Amino acid sequence: MELKVESISKKFKNDSSFQTVLKDLDFTVREGQFVTLLGPSGCGKTTLLTIIAGFQAASGGRVLINGCQVTRPGPDRGFVFQNYALFPWMTVRDNILYPMKQRKVPGKEREKRLEELLGMAQLEGKEKLFPHQLSGGMKQRVAFIRALAGKPEVLLMDEPLGAVDMQMRQSLQDDLEVLWLKDKTTVVMVTHDVDEAIYLSDRVIVMSAQEGKIVEDLPVRLPRPRDRKGMEYHKHKERLAEALRIAMGKRPESPEAKRQLCLA
Amino acid sequence: MEPLGDKARVFNSRNTRLMREKIMGGQVHKQLLYPLITIAVVFGVWQLAANHYNSEFMMPSPCKTMVTFASVVHDPEVIKNLLITLKRVLTGFFYALLIGVPLGFLMGYSKTAMRLFDPLIDSLRQIPIMAWVPLTIVWFGLGDGPTIFLITFSGVFPIIINTVAGVQNISRDYYNAARSMGGGSWSIFTKIIVPASLPDILIGSRVAVGLGWMSVI
């Protein structure tokens, strides 16, 4: 599996003028990589993700999956929505079976995969519940395994933890990491949270508020599960925070200047 | 194309939670008690008015009315007519569903269909139901025809408008989710559009049956 983003541009038309959100973006994601797109709000990271998903068309450039150009949504790219978008009129079971039914997976195999996925997400016994009867964390896990059920080549996640508070967020990040380690699908995730980006990903791409330009492409090679208090972790965090500051169009603040401020 | 929000609100109250509570009910005694209070107050005022007029022709007392009502209900002639009316309402309602729901799906989903049908439906909707009476008698003669036509006619608009609103209210995310899981058009229609808009269709139907009873006369 290889996901290739080739000089993607996106312009939106406002009444008379054009607004360029993305301009000539290039990067390649390799098999099994967990890549995070990080950036200030309005930098076009979600737009880029929906272009990869095929929900909207790019104004220029193309997205290739295993050399095939993306033109519309397809089961080769699973998508986890910010608000989960679980179908409220279906039970957990039917929600998870939906992608498999669409891909015409035979009944027996379907049941087996369902069991496997429920076990993976520790949701056994919950399959008869409706989404509104689940807690936020359970919904998130259902959304995750539903997106995996059709065995996509790549999983796209749009701020999957955007709607939860800080403490909940950290424990859900653990859940997400555990789930991902069991499956090792290629992931492209969008977030605006530096900590989340380092904790989860193998590689962080920082996008600028100006036309989505890539200001930093940082590999994270820390052993998992990651120690949030470790020295290396902290270094990565500072580097990304710096990159984010540049991305927002602010003057970079050097560690030197910061230290001087502390002393003064 | 104008947004449907306001138009739909005329017909549907959108208080589905209230409806659910009404049906499921939490406390049975409250459910019975409050309506009983209302009835008691209405009967009290009625009795006072009857005392004031003191004439059975102008304003019969509630007791007298109830007694007459009880005897009338046992009359086979009345029951027969009631059943005839019920049959007309149900037939008319059935036709309204048959026309309204597919049209509503079409108009909710396709902007072209919306542009085609919306002006026609909006203008037909404004015609007072009574204005149709002479015409329908000419068209269908003096049988069940005119009544059923009028019941269908009055019921079809709330069904169309609520179905359209129901379909338009479906979040884009559901379509995108279904398509990214490999869902085709038919699957999206049966598994997404129909169940997602069903509550609105039911609200429209409820209004339609109510209007149907009103246009029986």
What pLDDT score does B212 carry? Answer: 81
Structure tokens at A28: 């390649």
Which residues in B lie closer than 8 A to residue A55 (C-beta atoms)? Answer: 176, 180
Residue type, A170: Q
Q: Phi and psi dihedrals of B25, rounded to 5?
A: 70, 135
Which residues in A lie closer than 8 A to residue B181 (C-beta atoms)? Answer: 75, 78, 98-99, 102, 146-147, 149-150
Average pLDDT, chain B: 81
Domain boundaries, chain A: 2-76+152-263, 85-151
What pLDDT score does A27 carry? Answer: 92
pLDDT tens across B59-90, in order? 777 777 888 888 887 778 888 888 888 888 88
**Looking at this predicted complex, what is its ipTM?**
0.83
Q: How far apart are CA A241 and CA A263, in angstroms?
A: 21
Helix H, strand E, coil C: the string for B99-117 is: HHHHHHHHHHHCHHHHHHH
A2-76+152-263 fold:
Rossmann fold (3.40.50)
Structure tokens at B20: 């659910």
Which superfamily is assigned to B75-217 in CATH?
Answer: MetI-like (1.10.3720.10)
Domain boundaries, chain B: 14-74, 75-217
Residue showing tokens 């049975």: B28
Classified as helix, coil or strand, B96 is helix
A135-144, B15-24, B131-140: range with lowest mean pLDDT:
B15-24
What pLDDT score does B6 carry? Answer: 43
pLDDT tens across B165-192, in order? 999 989 889 999 999 998 888 988 989 9
Contact B171 A99 (CB under 8 A): no
What pLDDT score does B11 carry? Answer: 42
Structure tokens at B15: 């208080």
Q: How far apart are CA A78 and CA B181, in angstroms?
A: 7
CB contact at 8 A, A121 and A148:
no
pLDDT tens across A158-204, in order? 988 877 777 878 888 888 888 888 888 899 999 988 999 999 999 99
What pLDDT score does B23 carry? Answer: 53
Beta pairing partners, A68: A65
Question: How far B110 CA sits from the closest chain A CA (Å)?
Answer: 18
What pLDDT score does A38 carry? Answer: 92
Size of interface A-B (CB pairs under 8 A): 57
